[in-house]
Amino acid sequence: MQATAQSPTKKRRPIYWIVLLVIVGLIVAGTIFYFRSRANAATADVQTGDQVAAFIGDLSVGATASGQVEAVQTAILSVEQPGIVEEVLVTAGTPVNAGDPLLQLDQRDLKLQVAQAEQNVTLKEADLEALLKGAEASDIAAAEAAVKSAQANFDNLLAGPTTEEIAASEANIRQQQAGVWSASAGYNSTADSIKESAIASAEADLVAAQIEYNHAKERNEDFAFSFTHEAMIEAQENLAIAQAKFDELKAGPNQGSLNSASADISAAQANLNQARADYDSLISGASETQISAARATLARSQSDLADLKTGAGEQEIAIAQAQLDQARLDLQAAEQRLADSTISAPFDGLVTKVFVSIGERASGQVLELVSSDLQAVLQVDELDIASLVVGQPAELSFESWPGQSVSGTICSIAPSSSKDANSIVNYDVTVQFDADSLPVLVGMTADARVITAEKEDVLLVPNAAITANRGAGTYSVNLVTGEEEGEPVVESREVTIGLRDDEFTQILSGLSEGDTVLIGELAAPTIDFGAFGNGGDE
């Protein structure tokens, strides 16, 4: 009976140990899973007296900063030359592409200046071409004729008057004297033409014309034919002429006729005086002034002929070329002024301000434009700036969209610092980003986090578990070694640290995975070992 009672107990013992081993294994696996999940969930909100275990996890270290959203490019566009605004093609808020016209000034005077400059270039080109081409045969012939004429005039002045010239001058005097006599006779004839005999003769002609008219009138009345009517009309006209002549003679000399005759005498006398002066000048010969003028005319004609035959000199061509170059520069300047009268967008972007209206006289600033590309200018503390380099990625978030972010890249770091109101030294760090996913606007506040270092599968403990010794510059933890009467037994264990973030610190030596540490009253570090740890590489 006794043996029978013990036999079942012996058979159940292997099952008991198997179950116990399974439970222990589950506990160990759960512990490992718990510690690893702690790293992934970043559950480091520990309190004084808590016991935590060192675990293997990933650590990323970064810097945070805030700033303002700005446009990559900002331009305040101005007119080069003052002018009247003819057309404004945009308003504040208008999106534009590079090269789009934004504003147009009046171009009428500018177009006229371009046309004048073009004409001047054409003239200067023709001048230079003529110099390079040389003189035409007709030009040389004309110049030769001018030399011959100047030479003959000069020779004649030196030789004095010929017999023929003297005779011709004397004949001219006689002719002008006769003209004076003729004019005087005409005046006397006009003044003495009205005599009694002339009046009597005119009266007789009037009586005869009256008798003839009366006879013609009677014949036309007796025999009314066309020829009798024509004869009457002719007799009537003759009577009118005779009456006018009689009236004129009876009235006396006409003052207008007398004045005309007197003027003829004055003109004839002036011609006579000029003929006598010409004769005296001819007889006395050429003066020194006349000879000098003739000599100068001859020299100039000879020089012009020589220039035509030899062609333009290097200096003349150089001057003509310089004048053409200047004309072309003037044309370019006029064309540039015309082009500047149209204000165009220098880049893709958005119009933010328009300072002028149609009809105003614009001088200076007319438009403000910002680019479509945005950037965040962050103020980074000097403690963090050493870990940032151009090209590092950054995550940006905005107060207008909590929980959402966009990716960016550091594109520049200011070489000099600035101080804020609290005298904290900051550096401007510019992050370019693509905000297609969010309607980010210029001026918004941006918060950024830049990852500066990352570690995978490293030993971690919460920051609050580490105590720092200021004097020695060492770090230690309160390692839990056991338990007495329900209280943990701890010992101070010196550790070497590496990177740390806002929650965890990398342990390089002094602890192993699974070691339990106690969060004590003096657990928080009293020496700041930097936002990025001591730079350990393990």
**Mind spelling out the 3-state secondary structure of 223-292?**
CCCHHHHHHHHHHHHHHHHHHHHHHHHHHCCCHHHHHHHHHHHHHHHHHHHHHHHHHHHHHHCCCHHHHH
Report pLDDT for 107: 95
Task: Tell me the percentage of the chain whose pLDDT exceeds 70.
Answer: 85
Q: Which CATH class is domain 74-106+341-368?
A: mainly beta
Tens digits of residue pLDDT in 393-423: 999 999 888 888 899 999 999 999 888 777 7
Tell me the mean pLDDT in the region 105-126. 96
Tokens of 449: 């986090």
Strand order in the sheet with 361-362: 342-344, 101-105, 83-88, 361-362
Q: Are 251 and 193 in contact (CB under 8 A)?
A: no
pLDDT over 60 at 231, yes or no = yes
Report pLDDT for 252: 65
pLDDT band at 455 (very low <50, low <70, confident <90, very high): confident
Indicate the burial class of 369 (C-beta count within 10 angstroms; 0-12, 13-18, 19 or more). buried
Q: Are 261 and 186 in contact (CB under 8 A)?
A: yes
Q: Are 44 and 500 in contact (CB under 8 A)?
A: no
Q: Which residues contact 26 (CB under 8 A, 6 or more apart)?
A: none
How far from each other are the two terminal CA atoms of the chain, in whole angstroms? 68
Name the E strands within 25-152: 51-53, 55-71, 74-78, 83-88, 95-96, 101-105
Query: What are the residue ranges spanned by the domains of the chain?
Result: 74-106+341-368
Residue 63 Cα distances to 247, 388, 461, 502, angstroms: 131, 8, 20, 10
Q: Of 24-28, 212-216, 435-439, which gets the smallest average pLDDT? A: 24-28
Indicate the burial class of 421 (C-beta count within 10 angstroms; 0-12, 13-18, 19 or more). exposed
pLDDT over 80 at 528, yes or no = no
pLDDT band at 522 (very low <50, low <70, confident <90, very high): very low
pLDDT band at 253 (very low <50, low <70, confident <90, very high): low
pLDDT over 70 at 41, yes or no = no
Task: Tell me the percentage of the chain whose pLDDT exceeds 90.
Answer: 39
Q: Of 280-284, 351-355, 444-448, which gets the smallest average pLDDT? A: 280-284
Q: Are 524 and 477 in contact (CB under 8 A)?
A: no
- 257 CB neighbour count, 10 Å cutoff: 15
350 SS3 class: strand
Helices (H) and strands (E) in the chain, counts: 10, 21
pLDDT band at 352 (very low <50, low <70, confident <90, very high): very high
Give the best-scoring range by mean pLDDT among 182-186, 208-212, 217-221, 428-432. 428-432
Which amino acid makes up residue 219? R
pLDDT band at 193 (very low <50, low <70, confident <90, very high): low
pLDDT over 50 at 43, yes or no = no
Tell me the mean pLDDT in the region 215-233. 85
Report pLDDT for 220: 86
Query: Of 57 and 61, which is predicted with more confidence?
Result: 57
Tokens of 289: 């002034």
Report pLDDT for 191: 67
Tokens of 387: 């870990």
Which amino acid makes up residue 347? F
pLDDT band at 535 (very low <50, low <70, confident <90, very high): very low
Q: Which residues contact 141 (CB under 8 A, 6 or more apart)?
A: none
Query: Of 188 and 126, which is predicted with more confidence?
Result: 126
Query: Of 196 and 66, which is predicted with more confidence?
Result: 66
pLDDT over 70 at 460, yes or no = yes
pLDDT over 50 at 35, yes or no = no
In Å, how far from its chain's centre is CA 493?
Answer: 73
> Mean pLDDT across the chain, nearest whole number?
83
Tell me the mean pLDDT in the region 186-203. 72
Q: Of 44-58, 88-102, 478-492, which gets the smallest average pLDDT? A: 44-58
Report pLDDT for 323: 96
pLDDT over 70 at 202, yes or no = yes
pLDDT over 50 at 228, yes or no = yes
Tens digits of residue pLDDT in 290-337: 889 989 999 999 988 887 777 777 888 899 999 999 999 999 999 999
Tell me the mean pLDDT in the region 508-531. 68
Q: What is the length of the chain?
A: 538
Report pLDDT for 342: 96
Report pLDDT for 184: 86
pLDDT band at 341 (very low <50, low <70, confident <90, very high): very high
